Amino acid sequence: MSTAPAAVAAPAKSSGGFTGKAANYLDERTSISGAVKEFGRKIFPDHWSFLLGEVALYSFVVILLSGTFLTFFFDAAMTHTTYEGSYAPMNGVHMSAAMASTLDISFDIRGGLLMRQVHHWAALLFVASIGLHMLRVFFTGAFRKPREINWVIGFVLFILAMAEGFTGYSLPDDLLSGNGLRIIDGMIKSFPLVGTWISFLLFGGEFPGEDIVGRLYSLHIMILPAMVILFIALHLVFLIVHKHTQYPGPGRTEQNVVGFPILPVYAAKAGGFFFIVFGVIMATATFFQINPIWNYGPYDPSPVSAGTQPDWYIGFADGMLRLAPPHLEFVWLDRTWSFGILLPVIILGLFIVTVLIYPFIEAWVTGDKREHHLLDRPRNAPTRTAIGAAGVTFYAVMWAAASSDLIATHFRVTMEGVIHTLQALLFLGPVIAYFVTKRICLGLQKKDREIALHGYETGRIVRLPGGEYIEVHEQVSDYERWELVSYKDQAPIMLRPNAQGKITGSMRLRAAMSRWFFEDRIAPVTQTELDKSHGDDHH
């Protein structure tokens, strides 16, 4: 970076007071003025849906703050102790040091329970906001070139967040966390070839052993947070390199970004929003109890725990396990293949990988090499939106399955009925969601087209001199119309032989996919159509 003397002198010149001197001091040692010049007035577009990513970022900061407080008191050891803290009902109960210290945080440290609840609520919000942010990015097509890699980074963050959540949930070593680990242990053991040994190494011997909490603690407060921070940093660097996407609107193009500068407006709003997110988490932690481990007791492999639920973001995996049909296990080559567990794991894995690589699939189908900075309104990409709806439905069915017992008892239906229904819905639901969503999108597009060309119905009926009644249509303004007509249109590709005069299998597949994506399409209104319709309206 060039350090032209003029630039250095600038802050000192503009203000001779303390601030000026301090700025000068700093700049002479750090060249910071360059960064202010580069970023200070960077423009960020405004839209409520852009706040979802911010919620994720801010709740992570809250997690870091509250988690650090907890580390000062939490004892990640499974040494057996007898509880002697001030919560009387647990007095004399045998438990691990981890559980005892979590009880101490709750009952012997002022504000400790509040910090635990802040940490836990913030964790739930963190995963939820990443998920919603991801949906926003998907349904608006923000993952298209040049942002495919940032989609992958964001998705890795989603997975890391779930891993953070699961490891954290396991730390207090209460009945529920132990049961969660029990399930993980059983799943790991089912893996061919390596499962038994991975479980043995992970738990430091047999389940539950005395090592797992300490090991998960290393992951929870060191390795995973470091990775989360690294990926967030990368995510934000790319955000700056690409500049933020924007919704289509008058004056907005692929070559510009319209919004407010970082300094001062965006900083005030975003900074303020951080405190609001923190405030909402604090309020939730103030009024709503979460994870009352003293009601569950220490981990013991034996007691019942009917109706208990994992944290919400683990639900889909737990639900998928429940949906496997019985008797999927067999012995082959003298080894046990437990497909009752492997099949759900494989389905989950395929689902995750599909979401991860979706941007590359769509890019391959369209062959579109342009940069896309204007977002799609979901209706304007009907097939993508329908695929998204199918994915959401698939996830929702798995998630509902995690509460199959509660559904059965609540609605007084049989367990078998619930599971069989959900098994069917797992496959039918996404298909139905796909077709319904696609129809809705196309319908909305048609309506947009109608309004762009002929205006909207005013509900005002007038009688023409000829005695005929008509409803008056009001034309939309140019600005409003622009939002209805300015979307990117994609058409299916023609299958043509390549330079060698051949049609390869991959070309066929691409053509088929392209037809699937773009066959049903409503083309945007053209200028000619517009002129024509306005001509008609005037007569």
Partner 1 sequence: MAQDANSGKDLAAANSSSHDLVPEDSGTGVVSPDAVKNPGHPEHRKRVTDLDPKKEKQAERTVFVLFFLSAVGSLWAVAAYMMFPIDGQMELVRSNNLFIGLGATLALMALGIGAVHWGKAIMADHESVDERHPVRGTDETRARAIEIFEEANEESGFGRRALIRNSLIGALVVFPLPAVALFRGLAPYDEDPVELLQHTMWKKGTRLARDPSGVPIKASDVTLGSAFHVIPEDLNTAKDVLNEKAKAIVLLMRLKPEDLNELPERKNWSYNGIVAYSKVCTHVGCPVALYEQQTHHLLCPCHQSQFDVANHATVIFGPAARPLPQLPIEVDDEGYLVAQSDFTEPVGPSFWERH
Return the range that interacts with ligand HEM (CB under 6 A); candidates 84-92, 169-177, 370-378, 442-450. 169-177
Examine residue 499 and tell whether it contacts partner 1 (CB under 8 A): no
Examine residue 183 and tell whether it contacts partner 1 (CB under 8 A): yes
Examine residue 118 and tell whether it contacts ligand HEM (CB under 6 A): no
Examine residue 268 and tell whether it contacts partner 1 (CB under 8 A): yes
Contact present, 202 and 188 (Cβ < 8 Å): yes
User: For tokens 């689902």, what's the residue?
Assistant: 351
Residue 231 binds what, of partner 1, ligand HEM, none (CB under 5 to 8 Å, by partner type)? none
Examine residue 15 and tell whether it contacts partner 1 (CB under 8 A): no
The DSSP result for 389-442, as a single string, is HHHHHHHHHHHHHTTHHHHHHHTT--HHHHHHHHHHHHHHHHHHHHHHHHHHHH
For the segment 109-128, give every residue that binds partner 1 (CB under 8 A). Answer: 110-111, 113-114, 117
Contact present, 405 and 422 (Cβ < 8 Å): no
Examine residue 526 and tell whether it contacts partner 1 (CB under 8 A): yes
Q: Sketch the per residue contact string, 211 through 230, with ligand HEM: x for CB under 6 A, - otherwise.
A: ---------xx---x--x--
Q: Shortest Cβ distance from residue 471 to partner 1 (Å)? A: 25
For the segment 326-345, give every residue that binds partner 1 (CB under 8 A). Answer: 326-329, 331, 334-336, 338, 340-341, 344
Q: Of these, 53, 154, 168, 382, which contacts ligand HEM (CB under 6 A)? A: 168
Examine residue 365 and tell whether it contacts partner 1 (CB under 8 A): yes
Alpha helices in 31-147 (DSSP H): 32-39, 51-71, 97-107, 112-139
Is the alpha carbon torsion for 132, 355, 180, 105 positive or negative? negative
Examine residue 19 and tell whether it contacts partner 1 (CB under 8 A): no
Q: Of these, 273, 312, 351, 456, which contacts partner 1 (CB under 8 A)? A: 273
Q: Based on CB atoms, which residue is closest to partner 1, 259 or 378?
A: 259
| Dist CA 87 CA 30 (whole Å) | 53
Return the range that interacts with partner 1 (CB under 8 A); candidates 67-75, 293-301, 387-395, 501-509. 293-301
Residue 72 binds what, of partner 1, ligand HEM, none (CB under 5 to 8 Å, by partner type)? none
Examine residue 282 and tell whether it contacts partner 1 (CB under 8 A): yes
Non-local (6+) Cβ contacts of 24 within 8 A are 8, 11, 12
Amino acid type, 538: H
For the segment 236-265, give every residue that binds partner 1 (CB under 8 A). Answer: 240-243, 250-261, 264-265
CA separation, residue 328 to residues 129, 324, 417, 424, 428 (Å): 36, 8, 20, 18, 22
Q: Burial-class residue 456 by CB neighbours within 10 Å (0-12, 13-18, 19+).
A: middle
Residue 185 binds what, of partner 1, ligand HEM, none (CB under 5 to 8 Å, by partner type)? partner 1
Q: Based on CB atoms, which residue is closest to partner 1, 400 or 433?
A: 400
| Dist CA 230 CA 236 (whole Å) | 10
For the segment 46-85, give every residue that binds ligand HEM (CB under 6 A). Answer: 60, 63-64, 67-68, 70-71, 74
Contact present, 46 and 247 (Cβ < 8 Å): no
For the segment 79-108, give every residue that binds partner 1 (CB under 8 A). Answer: 85-88, 106-108
Non-local (6+) Cβ contacts of 315 within 8 A are 309, 398, 399, 402, 403
Q: Based on CB atoms, which residue is closest to ligand HEM, 159 or 491?
A: 159
The DSSP result for 200-222, as a single string, is HHHTTSSSSTTTHHHHHHHIIII
Q: Shortest Cβ distance from residue 33 to partner 1 (Å)? A: 14
| Dist CA 154 CA 234 (whole Å) | 9
Find the angle CA(60)-CA(65)-CA(70) to the nearest 5 degrees: 115
CA separation, residue 388 to residues 126, 144, 365, 382, 407 (Å): 21, 15, 16, 10, 26
For the segment 414-433, give every residue that binds partner 1 (CB under 8 A). Answer: 415-416, 419
Return the range that interacts with partner 1 (CB under 8 A); candidates 2-10, 162-170, 272-280, 462-470. 272-280
